[in-house]
Every structure is written in structure tokens, then in C-alpha cells.
């Protein structure tokens, strides 16, 4: 009989694949497919047509609709410049913690999901279980929408999705939506002593960044809605985290690049923030072109993550609360793939082992107790699917 690996053994294998978002994840997907096939579980892939990355989904149990879907991503953030004390792509246990890139975010959950799928296959489950493993979550949840679309009609439609982002095994029922726009300001170079005859791309970009500051100030001062008040902070935010441009201190900058990102509270229209930003962009562009007509501002969408709206009597939330006993209200300001699943018609909740504070950090870890709590959750989930 083929060995049934433990969750820890599966996590060790997944961590060994350096699936940084800028690189391929295909070797990891190959291994998962082969492992599931060794237990007679058929996998299906979504193959990205533009880059060497694959998503994977699989189904165990009766061939009927109504599956519980365990959703995770396979990519991790880079380790560049981080002072790791051990090999980031090997699991090291010390002081009651498992260290390694992705142990917390979120290959620990992926390992538990794969383990649970195999157990469901061998168990007498009456309700099916599915897994959905994506890519490019760390760069804007870009891999989730095509993966979800690829699942439709290939495996029976699931109804409830548990997205296993680290939440300390608490039921997170709402998160902000997000969108981002790469912004390229194209100015006109002249000597800075004649700056009135040129267009400084950096100084034009500063007007857009100051607009973001003004929006944040206004949003912070406004009274939040009841729904927005559940979040920290209780308002939509606009943010610029990186900027580059210019060639010399005495030359008006020809180019300036930055990204404008929004984290939008549920209940607000994310598209209205995009429209407002584009209106400001056009206003600044007109000012530039009044000086030099050939100048411009190019906008390229960078990511688009729908909010997770709290559901009334949501199936996914109810299931997680029944298993964990957690009846508190939890909302977060970061985005996850749960919003994409909810948009596609699934009931969705976020619940996974580990603390989000450890995500992306040097010496990333998941506490052994949290990993074990995730294992216990999966055992109880399979028991429920067997009733």
C-alpha cells in the first residue's frame, strides 16, 4: 500500500519547493498531482497561458455537488535581504515552532488540506471534499479567478469554501477589497533652472500622492458605517509604498513610476475609487500637457481583489464555528481569495492555523500547537462529512 504521509511530512515536502511568486510553482504541483494519483485521486490543472505556473484542484468522495472546498495558495514571498537563521526552504523545529518560508503563509494549511483530501478518499464520507491550490496570491490573488473558473463543470460544484490563510483558527467572516494601479508619469526633461519649460514627472506624481493623503484624511475624519466600523482601520485607505524616477538633481524628471493601491471597506464601491483616481490622473495630465503636449500618465491595473462580505447565516461560517467553537466576530483589513470565491457563488470564510503577523517575516514560523489545532480541525471536518 502506498504510504499516507502525515501533515508534517507533506508540509516538509511543500516547503522544499522555493515557489516564490516571481518563479514557477510547477514542480510543487507535479509532486501534489503524483502524490494524490498514488492514492487514486485524480487532479485537474489550470495552466496559465502566459507564464510557467499551474493551479490544481481535486475532488474526493461521492460524485455529487455540495462539496466543502479547502482553498490555499502555493506561492510565497521572497526571502531577499531577510536575515534567516536557518534554511528558509527546510522545516526546522525549535522552541515549539516550525520555521520555514510558507509554514504560516500558507503551506502549513496546504499540507493539512492535502492530508484531509486523502483521508476523505479512504473514509466513508457522505459529502465530498475538494482542494483548490492557486498561484500568484501574493501579487494580488491573480491566480484564483481563472482557477475557480476552471473548476466549473469539471468537478461537481462545491458550496462552502474555507480559505486557510493564517487566522489562529478563528472564523474571519469579512475582509476589505483591494485594487492597485501601476502609474507611469511621462514628463519632459529640461535643465532645472528652466523648469517652467519642462514637465517634472516626479513633481506631477507628487500631486497624485498628495491626493491620496487628502482622501485618507477625509476618510479618517468621517463617521464610519456600521459595516466599516468592524474593520481596523474603519475606512478605505489609499497607499503608495514605492516610487522611482529621475536621472539627476538638476534635470526635471522624465519618468516617475509608482503604484497606487486601495483597500476598500465592504459596502463601498471599489470601482468608484478607481474612477476617482482616474479623474485625478486626467486632471494632472491636462496640467502637464498644457506645458508640453507630448507628456502623459499611463495607468495599468495591477491587482483586483473583491471584498469578503459578511454573510447572514453563511454555510461556511456556520461550519467553521461548529468545529472550532469560535463565536466571536473577526474582520481583517488584508485581502484573500475568499472574496473571489464568494463572487463566484460560494459561501466563504477564512480560517487557518498560524498568526498573520508571522507572514512574510524573516524566520517565518507556525507554532506547533497551531499546526496541531489545524490537524484536529481537519479530523473533525472529515467526521462531519461522514455523517
Same structural domain, 250 and 134: no
Same structural domain, 240 and 132: no
- Find, among 82, 97, 159, 101, the residue nearest to 344 by Cα: 159
The predicted pLDDT at position 322 comes to 96
Q: Is residue 257 part of a domain?
A: yes
Q: Is residue 46 part of a domain?
A: yes
Low-confidence ranges of the chain (pLDDT < 70): 1
Q: What is the CATH number of the domain that holds 200?
A: 3.30.70.360
The predicted pLDDT at position 49 comes to 97
The dihedral through the CA atoms of 333, 337, 341, 344 has a sign that is positive
Same structural domain, 37 and 158: yes
The predicted pLDDT at position 1 comes to 54
Q: Is residue 45 part of a domain?
A: yes
Domain around 188: 177-305
Q: Domain boundary at 305, 330, 364, which?
A: 305
Q: Is residue 153 part of a domain?
A: yes
| Runs of H (alpha helix) within the chain | 7-15, 26-37, 107-122, 144-151, 201-221, 270-289, 315-324, 338-343, 368-385
Q: Domain boundary at 241, 270, 305, which?
A: 305
The predicted pLDDT at position 267 comes to 87
Q: Is residue 38 part of a domain?
A: yes
Same structural domain, 248 and 290: yes
Same structural domain, 203 and 348: no
How big is the chain, counted in residues? 387
Instruction: List, as one string, the DSSP characters of 254-318.
Output: SEEEEEEEEEE-TTS-HHHHHHHHHHHHHHHHHHHHTT-TT-EEEEEEEEEE--BPPPTT-HHHH
Q: Is residue 203 part of a domain?
A: yes
Q: Is residue 2 part of a domain?
A: no
Same structural domain, 17 and 42: yes
The predicted pLDDT at position 158 comes to 97
Number of domains in the chain: 2
Radius of gyration over every alpha carbon of the chain, rounded to an integer in angstroms: 23
Same structural domain, 294 and 327: no
Q: Do 137 and 337 touch, CB atoms closer than 8 A? A: yes
Amino acid at each position: 500500500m502506498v504510504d499516507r504521509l502525515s501533515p508534517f511530512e507533506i508540509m516538509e515536502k511543500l516547503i522544499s519547493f522555493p515557489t516564490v511568486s516571481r518563479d514557477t510553482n510547477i514542480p510543487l504541483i507535479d509532486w501534489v498531482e503524483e502524490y494524490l494519483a498514488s492514492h487514486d485521486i485524480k487532479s485537474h490543472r489550470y495552466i496559465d497561458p502566459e507564464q510557467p505556473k499551474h493551479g490544481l484542484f481535486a475532488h474526493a468522495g461521492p460524485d455529487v455537488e455540495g462539496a466543502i472546498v479547502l482553498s490555499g495558495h502555493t506561492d510565497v514571498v521572497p526571502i531577499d535581504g531577510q536575515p534567516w537563521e536557518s534554511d528558509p526552504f527546510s522545516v526546522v523545529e525549535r522552541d515549539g515552532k516550525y520555521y520555514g518560508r510558507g509554514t504560516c503563509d500558507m503551506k502549513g494549511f496546504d499540507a493539512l488540506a492535502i492530508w484531509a483530501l486523502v483521508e476523505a478518499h479512504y473514509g466513508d464520507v457522505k459529502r465530498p471534499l475538494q482542494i483548490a491550490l492557486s498561484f500568484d496570491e501574493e501579487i494580488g490573488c491573480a491566480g484564483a479567478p481563472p482557477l475557480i473558473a476552471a473548476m466549473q463543470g469539471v468537478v461537481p460544484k462545491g458550496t462552502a469554501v474555507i480559505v486557510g490563510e493564517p487566522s489562529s483558527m478563528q472564523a474571519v467572516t469579512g475582509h476589505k477589497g483591494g485594487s492597485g494601479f501601476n502609474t507611469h508619469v511621462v514628463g519632459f526633461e529640461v535643465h532645472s533652472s528652466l523648469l517652467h519649460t519642462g514637465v517634472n514627472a516626479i513633481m506631477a506624481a507628487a500631486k497624485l500622492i498628495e491626493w491620496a493623503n487628502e482622501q485618507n484624511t477625509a476618510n479618517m475624519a468621517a463617521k464610519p458605517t456600521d459595516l466599516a466600523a468592524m474593520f481596523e482601520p474603519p475606512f478605505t485607505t489609499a497607499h503608495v509604498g514605492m516610487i522611482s524616477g529621475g536621472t539627476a538633481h538638476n534635470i526635471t524628471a522624465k519618468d516617475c513610476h509608482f503604484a497606487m493601491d486601495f483597500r476598500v471597506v465592504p459596502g463601498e464601491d471599489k470601482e468608484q475609487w478607481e474612477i476617482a483616481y482616474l479623474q485625478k490622473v486626467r486632471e494632472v495630465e491636462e496640467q502637464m500637457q498644457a506645458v508640453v503636449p507630448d507628456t502623459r500618465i499611463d495607468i495599468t491595473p495591477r491587482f483586483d481583489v473583491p471584498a469578503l462580505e459578511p454573510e447572514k447565516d453563511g454555510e461556511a461560517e456556520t461550519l467553521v464555528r461548529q468545529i472550532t467553537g469560535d463565536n466571536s466576530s473577526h474582520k481583517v483589513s488584508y485581502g484573500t481569495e475568499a472574496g473571489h470565491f464568494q463572487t463566484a457563488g460560494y459561501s466563504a470564510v477564512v480560517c487557518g492555523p498560524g498568526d498573520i503577523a508571522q507572514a512574510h517575516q524573516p524566520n517565518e514560523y507556525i507554532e506547533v500547537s497551531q499546526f496541531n489545532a489545524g490537524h484536529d480541525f481537519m479530523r473533525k471536518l472529515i467526521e462531519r462529512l461522514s455523517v
